[in-house]
Amino acid sequence: MNRMLLRFALLAAPLALALAAGTARADGPFPNNLNAADRQGLENFDTLRAQAIEIARAKGDAADLRQMERALEGGATNLPASTLAGNWRCRSIQFGGSLAIVAYGEFRCRITDGPEGLRLEKLTGSQRTSGTFYDLGEARLGYAGAEAWGDGERPYRYDQDPERNQVGYLVPVSANHLRLELLTWRGTSFAILDLRR
């Protein structure tokens, strides 16, 4: 009996290690699972991002611009889900559209790795996004979420109220720095949630 258990344990160990190292991102047809307006926004994502950054650099306050430039440092790196999960400090930087740029103070965020895959929740602040990350087969992850407004408001799910939708891409820079790049207000403005620990 002990030999049988030992043999099973030896056979199961590589599978357990592979599962632990793997990413528990939601599988799905991102961005095809999004509504038409958000799909259109993502088709123009790179252009909208570049325009928003250009407006911020031309008209923004120097202190806010320093926060934006710091957030934009580094490219996407493949990281396992176990590295992304946990508690984070997060700073929202909004720019483009009618405002040049506004960088907020630090808040608390959490990424969980559960049955639905990797999920983000911004825990503090009056504008709190929550949503799901999607595997794109690349270092970046897709993101579909929604924003709660006001301190007492419960989290919303994507497309529960289309006015609150936020879609974009998570750029894992390192184990201690993530950058969530978001289209907001139906693609009329841009935001970065700069996550650090």
Whether 102 is in a domain gets the answer yes
Residue 106: domain span: 28-196
Residue with tokens 């924003």: 147
Least confident piece of the model among 57-66, 137-146, 150-159? 150-159
| Number of Cβ within a 10 Å radius of residue 139 | 15
Give the model confidence (pLDDT) of 33-51 as tens digits: 899 989 988 999 999 999 9
- DSSP character for 163? G
- Cis ω before 31 (30° cut-off from 0): yes
pLDDT for 82-124, tens place per residue? 899 999 999 999 988 777 999 999 999 999 998 888 999 999 9
pLDDT surpassing 80 at residue 186:
no
User: If you average pLDDT over residues 74-80, what whole number do you get?
Assistant: 94
Q: Which of 9-13, 57-61, 86-90, 181-185 has the lowest mean pLDDT?
A: 9-13
| Of 94, 152, 167, 157, the residue nearest 121 (C-alpha) | 157
SS3 41: helix
What total number of domains does the chain contain? 1
Q: Is residue 183 part of a domain?
A: yes
Computed from CA positions of residues 124, 129, 135, 140, in that sequence, does the dihedral angle turn out positive or negative?
Answer: negative
Q: Return the CATH number at 67.
A: 2.40.128
Structural domain contains residue 3? no
